[in-house]
A = this chain, B = another copy of it.
């Protein structure tokens, strides 16, 4: 046992066995708490830890205190001295109820603004010295404050003038796991589901706690454990007991569990002949199921439902509306304080309508019919998590129905784990989009956070990118997307640059290359748009798995699973006419957005082919013809990845060798695949355009025939 051996021997062994003590395998995420290298800062932070008044009357506070100790120790090399109270504390943390010091300071603190989750980090005079204060109304608020404080320290933030008040803008900040009971993760690129259902509830991986801790550190307060397409079995008693065990771990971290409710559960596990939402036996079954769940998990969050979409059962099977279906569940769960998140991602197996229009057509007429504890959960765009989509037209169209935003964190259509694509710019683009629902300046964010329509509930959900991979997300940079989702769900006004910078410093340290990495991240999403689907193109990915280019795809079982459905390339041009002369999807937006997008001359060029079918020789604003611009866009995407790779290679001396090598290899793969995308798409479109590649661009490589013959039967996540 190590503890029997002289420390000097342990240390020399550790130091000599390698240059560092452990490999940077990414498991620590943004909670590394690496030693602060600026002596002045380290000293200041160390000083803060000399007398910490931090009473711990709850498990949540014990966790927060332990985190503070862990963080300060890691960053400063000194373990802080912590007690319930010191006469002259250097740092005080707590609530007015639990901490005498905070109670004493509270008249001067804007606690009334903080609600149940907000916190203050500030400097206040106490017992004759300037004291750092972390205060909140609740234990969870204190925990959030501690995590924020430690993150600020990882940024090298000067705390001597600290005066920070934070309150989350959305009430619910949820991860949606698309994890099946088999541990297969739909659209997962990071290994298996971290939920080991077979060993639950008896064996609890340490990872479950680390998961809760990571989420709490960025303000995520709920998790939907199971896939929207999941089996009803998760609602049977043995599985609910497993869920109960996870809920018990997450509870002190302020995280509630939610489950998917398969609409047909009363038939599948309840033995009923129908799942008709108006059938009394069905209603009774759900009431009783809700009672069973809440007996096990008193703070159970609620249900997510994917109904009548992609072959899933739903109320329409019984001639009932989405509202009737959602309300039936909402009634069952309301007495216990639960909510229903009813997904708007529906498209009928029969409807010939433009798929981009269907959710709006289906849900807009139902506005006002949902019970108060129902969210309609809406994807950021009207199709399906494409590299770029316009915002979803339901935002601004449902004044009486709280809309929950659904982003995808996992990169189903964005190159999987090996492509570096930082998603905060995509999230920000949607959140900042102006719906004009109340005239100019009505952003999607103001609708989602409830301020515009005065929704009683607000929330954002992110489809998780988490799996059993040691680095959690399949790649080091995909951790930034988890982080960014959490941060933007907490505060959608943060810039993508700010979030990137926070994450980089916590993840790689206060290195000179922070700006270079930030630049890579900030350009990465546009790069992916350009090498995959520039100018408003969309859904050109391989069939089913969505890996790689397949603009030629035209034999899928549904028309709208084909690439050709979306790009409509022919000798006359390319693009989906969604103007009033076409599918009329532009009409689903408020004026003046509708009119602006309906005209190719005013439509933003980065959405041009989303809304218009245009001649190959159509003149772009820069004077190039459309075909040439398409070629330049694809080339620009490849060049951007090349630049990202070069940038990274220049950072070799600043990054630990493990992560440096991993990221480099992934960028090499990304470059190779960007080139593949460019060549495959341009060779394909060139058949119709019958125009040459503009002079000066790199030649295309490979042959269309070869690309079309490639098969990726075992691409992950399908």
**A residues adjacent to B (C-beta < 8 A):** 1-5, 7-17, 19-23, 33-35, 37, 42, 70, 73-79, 181-183, 191-192, 197-199, 202-204, 206, 233, 416-418, 468-470, 509, 511, 654, 656, 658, 662, 665-666, 668-669, 672, 712-716
Which of A22, A73, A197, A672 is packed against the most chain B CB atoms within 10 Å? Answer: A73
Chain B nearest Cβ from A261, distance in angstroms? 18
In whole Å, how far is A678's beta carbon from the nearest beta carbon of chain B? Answer: 18
**Bound Cα distance A418, B74 (Å):** 35
Contact flag A76-B672 (CB < 8 Å), given A21-B21, A191-B468, A468-B192 = no
B468 touches A12 (CB 8 A): no
Residues of B within 8 A of A70 (CB): 17
The 10 lowest CB-CB distance pairs between A and B, nearest first, are A9-B77, A13-B77, A16-B79, A181-B714, A12-B77, A17-B73, A16-B73, A202-B669, A5-B35, A203-B665
Q: A21-B14, A191-B192 are known contacts. Are A713 and B202 too (CB-CB below 8 A)?
A: no
Docked complex Cα distance between A191 and B203 (Å): 15
- Which residues of chain B are near A75, meaning CB under 8 Å? 13
A183 contacts which chain B residues (CB < 8 A)? 714, 716
Determine the residue in chain B with the shortest Cβ distance to A19.
B3
Q: Is the CB of B1 within 8 A of A77?
A: no
Nearest B residue to A236 via CB reads: B711
Residues of chain B contacted by A509 (CB below 8 angstroms): 1
- Known pairs A182-B714, A197-B714, A199-B417 / 11 extra A-B pairs, C-beta < 8 Å: A1-B656, A2-B34, A2-B35, A3-B19, A9-B77, A10-B21, A10-B35, A13-B75, A14-B14, A192-B468, A202-B665
Query: With A and B bound together, what is the CA distance between A191 and B184 in angstroms?
Result: 11
By a CB distance below 8 angstroms, the chain B residues around A2 are: 20, 34-35
Measured between beta carbons, the chain B residues less than 8 angstroms from A17 are 33, 70, 73-74, 79
The answer to whether B5 and A37 touch across the interface, beta carbons within 8 angstroms, is yes
CB distance from A26 to the nearest CB of B (A): 12
Q: Which chain B residues lie closer than 8 Å to A713 at the CB level?
A: 181, 233
A503 CB to nearest chain B CB (Å): 18
Q: How many copies does the complex hold?
A: 2
Q: Is the CB of B16 within 8 A of A78?
A: yes
Asked if B199 contacts A418 (CB within 8 A), the reply is: yes
| Residues on B with beta carbons closer than 8 Å to the beta carbon of A468 | 191-192, 468-469
With a CB–CB cut-off of 8 A, which chain B residues contact A669? Answer: 199, 202-203
| Nearest CB on B from A443, distance (A) | 38
A19 / chain B contacts, CB cutoff of 8 Å: 3
The residues of B that contact A191 with a CB separation of less than 8 Å are 191-192, 468
Distance (whole angstroms) from the CB of A236 to the closest CB of chain B: 9
17 CB < 8 A contacts A-B? A2-B34, A8-B77, A9-B42, A12-B77, A13-B76, A14-B14, A17-B70, A17-B73, A17-B74, A17-B79, A192-B192, A199-B417, A199-B669, A202-B668, A203-B662, A204-B665, A206-B658
* Chain B residues whose C-beta falls within 8 Å of the C-beta of A712 in the assembled complex: 198
Q: Nearest-CB distance from A607 to chain B (Å)? A: 32
Q: With the chains together, A693 CA to B418 CA distance in Å?
A: 61
**Chain B residue with the shortest CB-CB distance to A511:** B1
CA distance A583 to B74 in the complex (A): 69
Shortest CB–CB separation between residue A325 and chain B, in angstroms? Answer: 26
Distance in Å from the Cβ of A514 to the closest Cβ of chain B?
Answer: 13
- Cα(A2)–Cα(B511), bound, Å: 11
Given A468-B191, A665-B203, A714-B181: A35 in contact with B9 (beta carbons within 8 A) = yes
Which residues of chain B are within 8 angstroms of A656 by Cβ–Cβ distance?
1
**In the complex, what residues of B have CB within 8 A of residue A662's CB?**
203
- Contact residues in B for A202 (Cβ distance below 8 Å): 418, 665, 668-669, 672
- Chain B CB count within 10 A is highest, among A1, A192, A202, A654, for A1
Q: How far is the CB of A451 from chain B (nearest CB, A)?
A: 42
A11 to B16, CA, bound (A): 13
Q: Give bound CA distance, A539 to B76, whole Å.
A: 59
The chain B residue sitting closest to A656, CB to CB, is B1
A5-B35, A11-B11 given as contacts; is B714 within 8 A of A203 (CB)? no
> Which residues from chain B contact A182 at a C-beta distance below 8 Å?
714
A469 to B: closest C-beta gap in Å = 8
Q: How far is the CB of A248 from chain B (nearest CB, A)?
A: 15
Q: By the criterion CB–CB under 8 Å, are A714 and B16 in contact?
A: no
A412 to chain B: closest CB distance in Å? 14
Tell me the complex Cα distance, A15–B716, Å: 41
| B716 touching A78, Cβ below 8 Å | no
Indicate which residue in B10, B33, B199, B672 contacts A77 across the interface (CB closer than 8 Å): B10
Closest B residue by C-beta to A712:
B198
Bound CA–CA A16/B33 (angstroms): 13
Q: How far is the CA of A75 from the CA of B9 in the complex (A)?
A: 9
Contacts of A715 in B (CB 8 A): 198
What's the Cα separation between A695 and B188 when bound, in Å?
55
Interfacial chain B residues near A3, Cβ < 8 Å = 19-20
| Chain B residues, CB < 8 A from A76 | 13
Find out whether the CB atom of B20 lies under 8 angstroms from the CB atom of A21: no
Which residues does chain B contribute within 8 Å of A416, judged by CB atoms? 198
In angstroms, Cα B712 to Cα A509, docked, is: 46
Q: Given the interface contacts A37-B1, A509-B1, does A418 sit within 8 Å of B203 by beta carbon?
A: yes
Q: Distance (Å) between the CB of A246 and the closest chain B CB?
A: 15
| Bound Cα distance from A434 to B152, whole angstroms | 71
Which residues on B sit within 8 Å (CB–CB) of A23? 206
Give chain B residues whose Cβ lies under 8 Å from the Cβ of A1: 37, 509, 511, 654, 656
A199 / chain B contacts, CB cutoff of 8 Å: 417-418, 669
The distance from the CB of A490 to the nearest CB of chain B, in whole angstroms, is 27
Asked if B14 and A7 sit within 8 Å, CB to CB, the answer is: no
Minimum CB–CB distance from A577 to chain B (whole Å) comes to: 37
Q: Contacts A203-B666, A658-B206; is A12 near B74 (CB within 8 Å)?
A: no
The distance from the CB of A81 to the nearest CB of chain B, in whole angstroms, is 12
A73 touches B714 (CB 8 A): no
Q: Are B21 and A714 in contact (CB under 8 A)?
A: no
Contacts of A417 in B (CB 8 A): 199
